[in-house]
Structure 1
Amino acid sequence: MECFGSIQEAVRRVRLRLRADTFDGLVWLVNITPSIAGFDITRKRIAKPFWILHLSLLTYVYGVGSFVYQAKHAEVASDFIKSFVNVSILVLTANNSYWWLMQRDLLQKVLRKAKESDNCTINAGLCVDKHKRLLYLIKCILISFYGFNLGNEFTTYLPKRADLNESTFSMTPCVGIEPLTTSPKREICIALVSIQELTIVIVVLNFQTTMVLLIAHTSAMYLLLSDEIITLNTLLTDPSKYDLVKERLADILYRHALTLDITSDLRALYNMPMGINFGSNAVCICFFFFLSLEEYLNFMPIMTYCFFVFFLYCFLGQRLTNAAEVFSCAVYSCGWEMMNMKEQRAIFTMLVQSQKEVDLLAADLIPVNMRTFASTCQAIYKFTTVVKL
C-alpha cells in the first residue's frame, strides 16, 4: 500500500508540474530525460557512465560501421549517398554531445538570467495573463516536439534499424560480431544498435528542446516588455502618476538590458552548434532527393526530422527578431515626449539599443530566420534539379 501511495503521489506531482504555466515548470519538462541520464541541466556535474556508453557506441556503430561499409561494401552512388546520411547523423550527434559537455557553465548562466527575467515580469504584475498564455504556448510546442519526434523514432525508424539490414541504411552493423544470422550475436547487435539510437535521441532531442525553451522564452520577454512600456502612455496623461512612470521605466530598463544580455549569451551558446546542424541537415535533405522511392521511404523518418528541425530553427530565430522589432516600435510609441529630460535620455538610450538588429547566427555567418529557410529550400531544389538533369 505504501508503494502504491508513493506512485499516486508521484503522479500527482507530475500532473501539477504539467499544469503549471511557469518557467520552472518548463525547465523541469526539458530536464526530465537529462536528469535521468545523469546530465541534469541545472547542475555542473555529469554522470560519466552515460557519456562513456553513448560516445563508445557512437564511434563503434556509426563511425566504424560507416567506414567499413564505404570501404568494403559500397558499390553504386546510392550506397555512398545513404552512407553519407549516416555520417551526417554522426557529425550532428557528436556536435550536440560536445555542446552538452563543454557548454554547461554558459547554459546554466543563461538559465539563471532567464529565471531572473521571468521573476521580474511576474513581480511587475502588469501582463500576468499574457505571461501565462505565452508560457502555455511554449509548453505546447515542447510537448508536441517531444511527442512527434519520439513517435517518429520508436514507431518507424528504430524498428527498421533493428532489422540489421545492411542495404537498407548502407551501414555495416556491429563490425566484428558477424555473422548476425546466429544467436546470440544477432540479439547482442540488436541491443547495441537500440541502445545507441536511444542515447542519440536523448542527446539530440534534449539539445533542441532546451534551445526551443530559451529562444521562445526570450521572445516572450520582448513581447511582454512591449506591452508594459506602452502602458506608460496612459500613466503620463495623469501628472500625479509620474513617480509610478519613473518606477516602471527603471524596471523596464533593467529587464531590457537583461534580455539583451540573454540574447548575446544565446548567440554564443548556439552559433556553432546551429551552424553544424544547419550544414548536416541541408546535406541530408540534398542527398534524399537522389534516392529511389523505396530507399526514400526507408529514410523518411530522418528526412522528416531534418526538415522539421531546420524549419523550427528558422521559425524561432524569426520569432525572436520579430519580437525585438515589436519592442523597438513600442519604445518609440511609449509617450517619451511627455517625460522629463532625465527619463527622455533613458528612453533614447533604450531606443538606440532596441534598434540594433536582434538575430541568431549559424556559425556567426548565416542569419537564422525564415528568409534563410526559404532561400535554402530554393537552393536545394535548384541543385538537385540541375544534377538530376
Structure 2
Amino acid sequence: MQSDLSKEQYKNSMMLQIREFGPAYSDLPTMMQNVAKLLRVLTLNIDNEYNKPIPIHCYILTIATAAAYTYVFAISAGWFVVKRCIPNHDVIGAIILFSLSISSEIGSAKFFYLYLYRDIVRKIVRQTLEFDAGIVPGSRYSKSVLQTMRKAKVRAIAFWFIIMGNGVVYVFKSLLTPGRHFMDDVYTIFGLEPMQKSPNYEIGYALVSAAVWFLCYVPANVTALLIVVAGYVEAQMVALTQELLHLWPDAVQHYQDVQFSTFTSRTNTKSRQRILNDFINIKLQDVIKRHSKNVHLLQMLENVFKGAIALEFTLLALGLVAELLGGLQNTYLEIPYAFVQVAMDCWTGQRVIDASTSFEAAVYASNWEHFDVANMKIVLLMLGSAQKTMTLSAGGVTMLSFASLMSVVKSIYSAYTALQSTIK
C-alpha cells in the first residue's frame, strides 16, 4: 500500500514538473527554472541557487554530440569540398555543403558567447529574480507582468518546437524515403565510404543524428533564455506604462480613501493638492527606480548577446544566399532553421522597442498638467529618459527589429540575384 502511494506521488510530481513547462506557469521564477533545467543538460548552470554538481551523463552527452557536430559539419564537409567537389567541378554540391556548415554555426555561436559570459548571465538571472521578488502578488502591476510573460513563454515554446521539430524532420525524412538514403545524399562523411553499406550507414546515421541534436537543442534553449529575460523587461515596461496611465485616477482614489479614513467631509484645496501630490511623488519615484533597473538589465543582456547576434546576422546572410543558390529542393529544411532563429531575435527586440515606445507615450499621457511644479519637473526628467528607446542590437550596429530583419532579407535577395547569373 505504501509502495503504491509513493509511486502515485512520484507520478504526480513528474506530471507537475512537465506542466510547469507549459504557458499556465508563466511566473518568472518558474520560467527561469525551466530554462535553467534545459541548459544544465548542456553543462551550463545559470542558477545561483543550484549548488549540486551537474550529472556526468550531461557532460558525456554534450561532448559526444559536439564532437559529432564538429566531425560531420566541419571536418567531413571541408574534406568533401576539397577532395570531391573542387576536382569534379561540382559547384552546387560545394554550395550545399557550405550552406550546411554556415547555417549550423548560428546556434553554436550563441552557446559560445553564453558560456563565455556565464558569470554575467548568472548575475542577470539573480538580479531579475530579485527584481521580481519586490512585486506585490495580486496587484495590478503583478497581473500585468504575468499577462505579458505568458505571451513571452508562448513565443519561447513555439520557437523551441519549431527548431527541435526541424531537426526531427531532417533526421527522419530519409527513413520515410523509399530505398536506403542518407539525410543529404550529396556528400560523404570522412572515413565512411561506401556510405550505403553496413556498418558505415548506421555509424554515419548515428553521427549525423547526434550532430543535429546538438545543432537544434543549443539554439532552442539559449534563445529561450534571451526571450525570457527580454520578455521580462518588456513585461515590466508594459506594467509601468499601465501604472503611469492610472497614476492620476489612483491619486484621486487615494485622496478619497484618506478622506473616508479620517471621517472628514470637507478638505481645503491646499490640503487636497498636498495629499494628491505626495502620493504622485512616491509613485513617480518608484517608476523611475523600476525603469532604471530595466535599462540596466537590458544593457547587461545586450553585452552578453550582441556579439553572438552580430555573428548570427552575418552567418544568416551567407547561409541563406548559399541555400538559395544551392536550390530550394536541396535546402528547404535549412532555410527555416536559420531564418527562424534570426527572426525570433528581431521579434524579441521589436517587442522591447514597442514596450519602450508605449512607456514614453504614457509619461506624457499621465495627466501631468494636474501635478504640482515639483512633480512636473520629475515628469520632464522621466520624459527625457523615456525618449531614449530601449533596444537590443546586433553588435551595437543594427537594432533588432522587424525593419532590420526586412533589410537583411532584401540584401540577401539582392546578393542571390546577382550571384545566380554567375553560377549559371
**In structure 1, how many angstroms separate the alpha carbons of the residues matched to 2:216 and 2:311?**
18
Q: Which amino acid aligns with 1:183?
A: S
The superposition leaves residues 334-374 of structure 1 with CA deviations (integer Å, 9 ceiling, x where unpaired) of: 23343344433433332221111322221221221111112
Unaligned runs of 5+ in 2: 256-271
Which residue of structure 1 lines up, in the alignment, with residue 46 of structure 2?
41
Using the TM superposition, give the Cα deviation of residue 139 of structure 1 relative to its aligned residue in structure 2, in angstroms: 1.8
**In structure 1, how many angstroms separate the alpha carbons of the residues matched to 2:65 and 2:216?**
11
SS of aligned partner of 1:289? helix
- CA gap of 1:15–1:48, structure 2 versus 1, over 3 A, is closer
Q: Which amino acid aligns with 2:383?
A: L
SS of aligned partner of 1:127? helix
> Bigger shift: 4-13 or 190-199?
4-13
1:143 aligned to 140, 146, 157, which one?
157
Q: 1:65, 1:172 within 8 Å by CA — same for their partners in 2?
A: yes
Q: 2:182, 2:205 within 8 Å by CA — same for their partners in 1?
A: no
Which residue of structure 1 lines up, in the alignment, with residue 69 of structure 2?
58
Report how many aligned residue pairs link the two structures.
383
Q: 1:117, 1:259 within 8 Å by CA — same for their partners in 2?
A: no
Which residue of structure 1 lines up, in the alignment, with residue 214 of structure 2?
199
> Bigger shift: 283-292 or 2-11?
2-11
Asked if 1:317 is matched to 2:349, the reply is yes
Q: Which amino acid aligns with 1:41?
A: I
Unaligned runs of 5+ in 1: none
Q: 2:99, 2:320 within 8 Å by CA — same for their partners in 1?
A: no
The superposition leaves residues 275-300 of structure 1 with CA deviations (integer Å, 9 ceiling, x where unpaired) of: 111111122221222233xxx23421
- CA gap of 1:283–1:122, structure 2 versus 1, over 3 A, is farther
Q: 1:235, 1:241 within 8 Å by CA — same for their partners in 2?
A: no
**In structure 2, how many angstroms separate the alpha carbons of the residues matched to 1:115 and 1:217?**
10
Q: 2:110, 2:308 within 8 Å by CA — same for their partners in 1?
A: yes
- Please give the TM-score of this superposition, normalised by the length of structure 1: 0.89
1:287 aligned to 322, 331, 343, which one?
322
Which residue of structure 2 lines up, in the alignment, with residue 106 of structure 1?
120
**In structure 1, how many angstroms separate the alpha carbons of the residues matched to 2:90 and 2:402?**
36
> Bigger shift: 184-193 or 65-74?
184-193
Which residue of structure 2 lines up, in the alignment, with residue 15 of structure 1?
19
2:403 aligned to 371, 374, 377, which one?
371
Using the TM superposition, give the Cα deviation of residue 178 of structure 1 relative to its aligned residue in structure 2, in angstroms: 3.4
Percentage identity across paired residues of the two chains: 19
Q: 2:106, 2:315 within 8 Å by CA — same for their partners in 1?
A: yes
Using the TM superposition, give the Cα deviation of residue 171 of structure 1 relative to its aligned residue in structure 2, in angstroms: 4.2
The superposition leaves residues 161-194 of structure 1 with CA deviations (integer Å, 9 ceiling, x where unpaired) of: 78774863x4432x22434344333322322221
- CA gap of 1:316–1:53, structure 2 versus 1, over 3 A, is same
Q: 1:161, 1:193 within 8 Å by CA — same for their partners in 2?
A: no
**In structure 1, how many angstroms separate the alpha carbons of the residues matched to 2:83 and 2:353?**
49
- Please give the TM-score of this superposition, normalised by the length of structure 2: 0.82
Q: 2:100, 2:334 within 8 Å by CA — same for their partners in 1?
A: no
Greater C-alpha radius of gyration: 2
Using the TM superposition, give the Cα deviation of residue 106 of structure 1 relative to its aligned residue in structure 2, in angstroms: 1.4
